[in-house]
Amino acid sequence: MGTDHKEKLIRVLQILEETDEKSPMNATQILKYLEEEYQIEQVDRRSVYRDIKMLQFCGYEIYQCADKKMGWYETLRKNIYLIKIFVLLHAPFGQRMQFVKEIRQSIDGKLDTGMTIDEVIEELGEASALTEEYNDIGMRQQTKEYVWMVLWILVGICLGVLLIIDGYTLYTGYHEINQYIAPTGYEWIDFRPKAGGTWGKVIVESIGFCICLGNVIYHFKRRRKAKKDNEL
């Protein structure tokens, strides 16, 4: 599911939040709203049907009018469900922050309509459970990145040890001793460096060690990002 599809699903839900039994919206109106208000263009009408079915499947009280041409309406307006959608879809950080802003505006709007602060808090009471769900997702992501980081560290240590051993071999000089006897009976000993294979191993081990180091840094950054997102 692409990012554009994620955003469209959220926007469809936001549009339906503005409806009720007396003022439903059909697919044509939803498409027009998406284009004019959110600049989401060239949307297939059938994808709107699929989005509505998905929202209904997730438990949203979205109903189709007796006259199907009239469209759909939502009877329960709880912004906390939008938060759950964002959690489940792993929306990008920027979109999540934008949505938090919209949540605040919605709360202000509820207060302006005469709802008391206790009523608003009660309506958002399910947030605690969803916060725990979001934290669980964040912790699982952190654990996953930590495990990968440790595995790459272990592989890097093994390659590092081999690299040190072969490097020391090259440094001290590993020689092959050959004894020659001439026809005249003259005998001499020849010391020849035997380092070709060792050089190849050092090169391969160096490349492998660099790959391990790069992966350790990569997963460390991803773990830190997951931890930071989980604290928001």
- DSSP assignment string, 175-220: EEEEEEE-TTS-EEEEEEE--HHHHHHHHHHHHHHHHHHHHHHHHH
Give pLDDT, residue 29: 94
Q: Output the pLDDT for position 153.
A: 92
Q: Alpha-carbon distance 232 to 98, whole Å?
A: 13
What distance in Å separates the CA atoms of residue 167 and residue 46, rounded to the nearest whole number? Answer: 64
pLDDT of 214: 92
Q: What's the whole-model pTM score? A: 0.41
Ranges of residues in the chain with a pLDDT under 50 are: 1-3, 128
Instruction: Report pLDDT for 94.
Output: 60
CATH code that applies to domain 3-125: 1.10.10
User: Where do we find the tokens 């339906």?
Assistant: 16
Residues 6+ apart with CB under 8 A from 139: 230
Domain ranges of the chain: 3-125, 136-231
